Amino acid sequence: MSNDAYTLASEAAAALKSAAGLDTFDVALVMGSGWVPAADALGETVADIPFTELPGFRAPAVAGHGGKIRVVRTEQGRHALVFLGRSHLYEGRGVDSVVHGVRTAAAAGVRTVVLTNAAGGLRPETQKVGDPVLISDHINMTGANPITGTTFIDLTEVYSRRLRTLVHEIDPSIAEGVYVAFRGPTYETPAEIRMLRTLGGDMIGMSTVLEAIAAREAGLDVLGISLVTNPGAGLSGDPLNHEEVLEVGRVTATRMGILLAKVVDRL
C-alpha cells in the first residue's frame, strides 16, 4: 500500500470516529449483494454515515449495495461497523479503492472483520441456493493484489480457523468451501466453471479476496461467509442475472442477520 493510501485510511478512520462519537470499534462487517437487510438484525443503530462524507470513499456503483457505514451497538454492548456496500475491481477505481473500507476499519481499531458475499455455487450436488458457506480458503484469479513491493504476507490461514469453529458452534450445519474470485463484471463461462471445479473451488464471485488479503496485512482476523445465490454457469441450464442474486439475498436476509448477530456477540 502506498503512503497516500495509509494516510487516506487514517483520515477516514478519524472522520468515522468523530461522526459516530466513539473512540474505537470492536468488529467490522462488509455486506455483499443482497445482504444489506441482514444488518437490521445486528442491533441498535447508533449512526448511519454516508460513504461520500468520509475521505476516500465513493458511492457503490452496483445495484443491491448500499452506500453507507452503519454503526451498530449489539445486545452485548459491542460496537460494529457495518459497511452497507463495497467497491469492486471491475468498477475501474483501482485496488486501493476496493480495500479502502477494510483499511479504514483497521485504522479505526477493529481487530476482526467479517466479509460476506453473494456467490455462485460450484457444487450443486451438495449446495442449495440460499445456503451460507464459510470460506475456508480462496483462489485469487482477479489478476490483482492490494500489496505491492517487498511486503510478504503469510496466507496459510487467511480465514481464521478459530472464527470458523465459533460459527460451527452456533450452527453446526454450515458447510465450508473454497471461494474463487474473478475480476468480473462478466459472469463465468461453463468452461471456466468446469475448470474451477477441477481446481478445487466451491464458490465463485467477484469480491472478498482482495479485502481479505488487505485485512491480513493489517493483522486482522478474518471470517468469510458466502451466500449461494445461484448455481455456476452451465450447472443448471439457466442464464445468470444480478436480480436473481439480490432476490435470494432478500429472502434469506433475516436468517443471515440472526447468524451474524450471534457471531458478533461471541467474538
DSSP string, 10-64: HHHHHHHHHHHT-S--SEEEEE-TT-GGGGGGS-EEEEEEEGGGSTT-----STT
> Shortest CA distance to 116 belongs to which of 37, 28, 208?
208
Angle at 220 between CA 218 and CA 11, to 5 degrees: 50
H or E element: which one contains 152? none
Grid coordinates 465450508 are at which residue? 176
Task: Give the whole-angstrom CA distance, residue 78 versus residue 88.
Answer: 28
Task: Give the whole-angstrom CA distance, residue 223 versus residue 16.
Answer: 23
Instruction: Supply the pLDDT for residue 237.
Output: 65
**Cell of residue 175, nine digits:** 458447510
- Looking at residue 117, the DSSP 8-state letter turns out to be E
Backbone angles phi, psi at 227, to 5 degrees: -105, 120
Instruction: Supply the pLDDT for residue 194.
Output: 95
Point out the residues of the chain with pLDDT beneath 50. Answer: 1, 64
How do residues 209-220 score in pLDDT, each as one tens digit?
Answer: 999 999 999 999
Instruction: Supply the pLDDT for residue 1.
Output: 47
Instruction: Supply the pLDDT for residue 17.
Output: 96
Give the count of beta carbons closer than 10 Å to the beta carbon of residue 126: 12
SS percent in the chain: helix, strand, coil, step 5 = 35, 25, 40
Residue from 188, 192, 217, 247 carrying the catalytic annotation: 188
Instruction: Supply the pLDDT for residue 249.
Output: 65
- Looking at residue 158, the DSSP 8-state letter turns out to be S
Q: Are 193 and 233 in contact (CB under 8 A)?
A: yes
Spell out the long-range contacts of 168-176 with Cβ–Cβ below 8 A and sequence spacing 24 or more.
168/134, 170/259, 170/262, 170/263, 170/266, 171/259, 174/132, 174/133, 174/134, 175/126, 175/127, 175/131, 175/133, 175/134, 176/133, 176/134, 176/135, 176/136
Backbone angles phi, psi at 247, to 5 degrees: -65, -40
Instruction: Supply the pLDDT for residue 252.
Output: 74
How do residues 95-126 score in pLDDT, each as one tens digit?
Answer: 999 999 999 999 999 999 999 998 999 998 88
> 217 an active-site residue?
no
Instruction: Supply the pLDDT for residue 130.
Output: 85
